[in-house]
C-alpha cells in the first residue's frame, strides 16, 4: 500500500463509520471482503484464510462495522499475507461489483442471547427463573474471540460467578477500558442501567443471576439498618460464599424438570440478601439473635408447605402470610425447626412415601406422584440419598421385618 493510500485509509477509519461491507467467496483464495467508507475510499481485502469459519468472519465484520476494530487490524486477524488495497471510489467500483460467478455471501448479525453472548459460541446455556430472579449457566469451552454488549435498560443487576479458572475479559466503560482475570470463585456485579461492553478471549463458565429491579428493591427494604442506594460494581473479586451457593444451584440447572422451585427461590433469596449485605456499601448491622418463629407462624408455614408437596409454593408467599421478610423467615424457620423450609418439606414427603410403601399394592410411580416428585426416577434418587437404599429394596426389607 502506498503512502497516499495509507493516509486515506487512516482518515476513513478515524472519521467515518463503514457504510457498506461486502463479502464474497473467492474460490481457493478464501474470502474476499470490500469495505466502503463513503465517497472517496474503499478497502479491498484479498486472500483471507480459506478455512475461516463463516461465524467468525461475521463476528469480525460486525466489529468492523461498529468501529470496535479498524481495517488495519484485519490482516493480523485473518492472514499474515493478506493483500490490502485502497483507492478513490471512481477507480475501484469493481470492488462492490464482483464477477457474476462469485456468489455473494450475505452477512447477517450473529444471534445473541439476552445477556449479549453469541449463542453459537455457547457449549452450555441453561436457565431457570425464581420469582423475579433469572438464573443461568453459560459455558464457552473454545477460545473464540467473543464480544459481549448490552444496551442500558431497567432490568436490574447481573451477578456472575466463575466456575472455572483461567478466564479474562477486557471491559470498556465509556472511553476507559480495564482488564480483569477470573479464577474459580471470582465474581462480577454490574447494573443493567449502563451500557456494557466486554471483549472475551478465553473460555468461561459462569453461573449468572439476573436480579430484577423489583427483587433488588425488596431485598434492600428487608435489610435491617441503614438503607443502601445501589450495589458496588465488582469485577474479579473472589467470594467463597457465592461460589458455594452457585454450586448448590448447578444440579437444578442441569435438570430443571426435577428442580424444586422452593429450593431454587430459597437460594436466590439467600444470594440476593448476601449481595445487599456485603456489596451494598453500608456498614453491617449487628447480628440478630433469637430469630424464632412464633407458634402461630410456625404452624402456618408448615401448613402452607404441606399443601404443596411438589414444592410449587414460594418463600415469598409464606413470608408474606407470616408478615416477615423472606431472609428473616428462612433464618427463623431454620432456627425453629433445625432445617430450611426445603429440607423440612423433603422430610415430610419422604415420611409420607414410607407410609405408602407399606401398602404393597401401590406402585412406585403412584407414590412418586402422590408425594410431589417429578417422576419415579426422581423419587428413587431422593429416597436413596436420604435412606441409603432405593425405595423398592426398603419396601422388601420392611416386609421381611414385619
Dump pLDDT digits (tens) for 137-155: 999 987 767 788 899 999 9
Q: How many helices (H) and strands (E) does the chain have?
A: 13, 15
Domain identity same for 328 and 210: no
Shared domain for 197 and 141, answered yes or no, is yes
The span from the CA of 164 to the CA of 138, in Å, is 12
Is 124 inside any structural domain? Answer: yes
What pLDDT is stored for residue 364 in this prediction?
A: 94
In a domain, 280, yes or no: no
Residue 244 lies inside a defined structural domain of this protein: yes
* Same-domain status, 237 and 165: yes
- Whether 289 is covered by a domain: the verdict is no
- What is the average pLDDT across 76-85? 36
Assess whether 233 and 123 both reside in one domain.
yes
> Is residue 186 located within the same domain as residue 137?
yes
Instruction: Name the grid cell of 118.
Output: 453469541
Question: Shortest CA distance to 121 belongs to which of 107, 111, 106?
Answer: 111
pLDDT band at 61 (very low <50, low <70, confident <90, very high): low
Same domain, 100 and 179: no
Residue 397 lies in a domain: yes
What is the predicted pLDDT for the residue at 132? Answer: 86
pLDDT tens by residue, 319-371: 999 999 999 999 999 999 999 999 999 999 999 999 999 998 899 999 999 99
- Is 21's pLDDT higher than 70? no
Q: Which of these three, 43, 77, 105, is where a domain ends?
A: 105
Q: Does 200 reside within a domain?
A: yes
What would the grid cell of residue 348 be?
415430610
The CA-to-CA distance between both ends of the chain, in Å, stands at 93
Range scoring the smallest mean pLDDT among 67-71, 122-126, 351-355: 67-71
Least confident range from 48-52, 234-238, 265-269, 397-401: namely 48-52
Average per-residue pLDDT in the chain? 78
Q: Do residue 315 and residue 359 come from a single domain?
A: no
Is residue 243 located within the same domain as residue 123? yes
Q: Is the residue at 145 inside a domain? A: yes
Mean pLDDT score, 95-114: 54
Q: Which helix (H) or strand (E) holds 32?
A: strand 31-36
Asked whether residue 246 falls in the same domain as residue 170, the answer is yes
If one compares 93 and 362, the residue with the highest pLDDT of the two is 362
Of all residues in the chain, the percent with pLDDT exceeding 70 is: 70
Question: Are the CB atoms for 30 and 49 separated by under 8 Å?
Answer: yes
pLDDT at position 251 is 93
* Structural domains of the chain, count: 4
For residue 358, give the CATH number of its domain: 1.10.10.60
Q: Is the pLDDT of residue 165 over 50?
A: yes
Among 252, 286, 317, the domain-final residue is 252
- Residue 273 within a domain: no
pTM, entire model? 0.69
- Would you say 355 and 361 are in contact if contact means Cβ atoms under 8 Å apart? no
Quickly state the pLDDT bin for 227 (edges 50, 70, 90). confident
The region that residue 282 occupies, defined by phi over 0 for left and psi between -120 and 50 for alpha, beta otherwise, is beta
Confidence of residue 289 (pLDDT cuts 50, 70, 90): low
| Same domain (yes/no): 125, 77 | no
Cα angle 88, 93, 94 (rounded to 5 degrees) comes to 130
Q: Residues 181-214: pLDDT tens digits?
A: 999 999 999 999 999 999 987 899 999 999 999 9
Give the pLDDT score at 19: 44
CA distance 379 to 220: 38
In which domain, by residue range, is 361 found? Answer: 347-401
Amino acid at each position: 500500500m502506498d503512502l497516499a493510500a495509507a493516509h486515506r485509509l487512516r482518515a476513513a477509519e478515524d472519521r467515518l463509520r463503514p457504510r457498506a461491507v461486502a463479502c464474497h467467496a473467492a474460490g481457493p483464495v478464501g474470502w474476499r471482503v470490500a469495505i466502503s467508507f463513503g465517497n472517496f475510499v474503499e478497502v479491498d481485502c484479498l486472500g483471507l484464510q480459506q478455512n475461516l469459519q463463516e461465524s467468525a468472519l461475521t463476528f469480525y465484520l460486525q466489529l468492523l462495522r461498529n468501529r470496535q476494530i479498524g481495517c488495519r487490524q484485519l490482516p493480523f486477524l485473518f492472514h499474515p499475507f493478506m493483500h490490502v488495497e485502497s483507492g478513490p471510489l471512481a477507480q475501484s467500483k469493481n470492488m462492490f461489483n464482483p464477477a457474476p460467478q462469485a456468489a455473494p455471501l450475505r452477512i447477517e448479525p450473529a444471534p445473541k442471547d439476552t445477556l449479549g453472548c453469541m449463542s453459537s459460541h455457547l457449549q452450555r446455556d441453561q436457565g431457570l427463573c425464581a420469582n423475579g430472579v433469572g438464573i443461568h449457566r453459560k459455558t464457552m469451552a473454545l477460545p473464540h474471540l467473543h464480544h459481549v454488549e448490552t444496551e442500558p435498560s431497567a432490568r436490574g443487576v447481573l451477578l456472575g460467578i466463575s466456575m472455572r479458572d483461567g478466564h479474562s475479559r477486557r471491559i470498556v466503560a465509556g472511553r476507559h477500558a480495564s482488564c480483569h482475570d477470573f479464577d474459580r470463585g471470582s465474581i462480577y456485579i454490574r447494573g443493567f442501567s449502563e451500557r456494557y461492553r466486554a471483549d472475551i478471549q478465553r473460555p468461561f463458565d459462569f453461573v449468572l443471576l439476573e436480579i430484577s429491579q423489583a427483587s433488588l428493591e425488596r431485598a434492600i427494604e428487608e435489610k435491617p439498618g441503614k438503607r443502601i442506594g445501589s450495589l458496588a460494581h465488582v469485577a474479579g473479586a473472589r467470594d467463597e460464599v457465592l461460589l458455594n451457593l452457585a454450586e448448590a444451584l448447578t444440579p437444578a440447572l442441569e435438570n430443571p424438570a426435577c428442580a424444586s422451585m422452593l429450593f431454587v427461590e430459597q437460594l436466590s433469596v439467600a444470594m440476593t440478601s448476601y449481595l445487599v449485605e456485603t456489596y451494598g456499601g453500608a456498614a453491617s448491622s449487628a447480628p440478630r439473635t433469637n430469630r424464632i418463629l412464633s407458634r402461630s407462624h410456625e404452624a402456618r408455614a408448615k401448613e402452607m408447605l404441606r399443601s404443596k408437596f411438589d414444592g410449587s409454593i414460594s418463600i415469598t408467599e409464606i413470608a408474606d402470610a407470616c408478615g416477615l421478610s423472606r431472609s428473616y423467615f428462612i433464618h427463623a424457620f431454620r432456627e425453629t425447626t433445625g432445617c430450611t423450609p426445603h429440607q423440612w418439606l423433603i422430610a415430610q414427603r419422604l415420611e409420607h412415601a414410607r407410609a405408602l410403601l407399606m401398602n404393597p399394592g401401590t406402585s412406585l410411580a403412584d407414590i412418586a406422584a402422590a408425594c410431589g416428585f417429578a417422576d419415579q426416577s426422581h423419587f428413587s434418587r431422593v429416597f436413596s440419598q436420604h435412606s441409603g437404599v432405593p425405595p423398592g429394596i426398603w419396601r422388601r426389607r420392611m416386609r421381611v421385618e414385619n
